[in-house]
Amino acid sequence: GCGSPAAAQRQHGGRRGGVRGRRPGALGLRQPTTPRGRPSLVARHADPDEAIILSTVRNHPDDPRRIDRLLAALPQPNLDAVRAVTGDWRVEWDSSLLARSKAKRLLNSICPELPRGLVEVHSTYNRLYDNTYQWVVGFMVPGTERVDAAVVLSGPYKQGQGKSGGFDLELTDVRAVTADSNADESKALLFSIGLGSFLNSRQIGNDGPIHVDLRYVGQDTSVQVDEGGNILVLTRSKIPYILD
């Protein structure tokens, strides 16, 4: 799978059959961060709802009905939810992937403009900041497990219309980025699989806005549902790739 936008770790079909490869959607709480990835100076304590959500997706990752019942009972986000969800997030649970934490994929199934190289997706993130949405797909190449990199699908987002709230996004660009811990090796990896030319952002085709509902937004946990019904549970996290 490719995940979702909130399903690019999995090719996710929504009501637009032609964008299956362009929809963005692993467990472990990280230190809260600001939109630029620096540790937050604000002390955070998970509220009871956040603790229950994370416990459920960790202990029952293959039981989507249980998780769906839990999410249905959560309080609805307020009108400030889109502003509250600004920042960096790691996908902890993806209803399209269930318990699978890693998945081998061809790069061009994540985004058709990418080459066909085989990679192993191990984590996904999203960043909402400065009116730009970024869906980050972290991967390794089989046989080189100690080095990783990522591809980033990005584009503008804005507050959604109507009672459901949430936000609307368009994925308009793709690029490859290096890991922040071993950038030189990561860059060499990108060139070895044909992604060197994607270190500069490239425009991609898209079929217009994708709507994402915010089912829950806590201090450190959020639940996003894309228009195809794919559910993502996310926690605030540093994104370990060089995005700026």
Q: Are 171 and 154 in contact (CB under 8 A)?
A: yes
CA distance 187 to 104: 20
Residue 44, pLDDT > 80, answer no
Q: Judge whether residue 129 has pLDDT over 80.
A: yes
Say which residue, 43 or 215, is predicted with more confidence: 215
Q: Which residue has the tokens 């936000």?
A: 167
pLDDT in tens, 197-211: 999 999 998 888 999
Nearest-10 Cα torsion for 89, 204, 102, 105: 180
User: For a pLDDT cut of 90, what percent of the chain falls above it?
Assistant: 49
Contact (Cβ atoms closer than 8 angstroms) between residue 57 and residue 92: yes
* Over residues 85-108, mean pLDDT: 83
Extended beta strands in 72-218, E state = 87-94, 103-106, 118-129, 132-140, 148-159, 167-169, 173-178, 202-203, 210-217
The span from the CA of 43 to the CA of 175, in Å, is 34
Whether residue 118 has pLDDT greater than 80: yes
Residue 74 has a pLDDT of: 85
Q: What is the mean pLDDT of residues 161-181?
A: 88
What does pTM read for this prediction?
Answer: 0.80
**Residue 72 pLDDT more than 80?**
yes
How high is the mean pLDDT of the chain?
Answer: 80
Q: How far apart are CA 171 and CA 192, in angstroms?
A: 26
59: helix, strand or coil? helix
CB 9 within 8 A of CB 90: no
pLDDT for 2 = 47
Which of 244, 215, 240 lies closest to 74 in space, CA to CA?
Answer: 215
C-alpha 54/C-alpha 184 separation (Å) is 35
- Residue 121 pLDDT: 93
Q: What is the mean pLDDT of residues 91-111?
A: 81
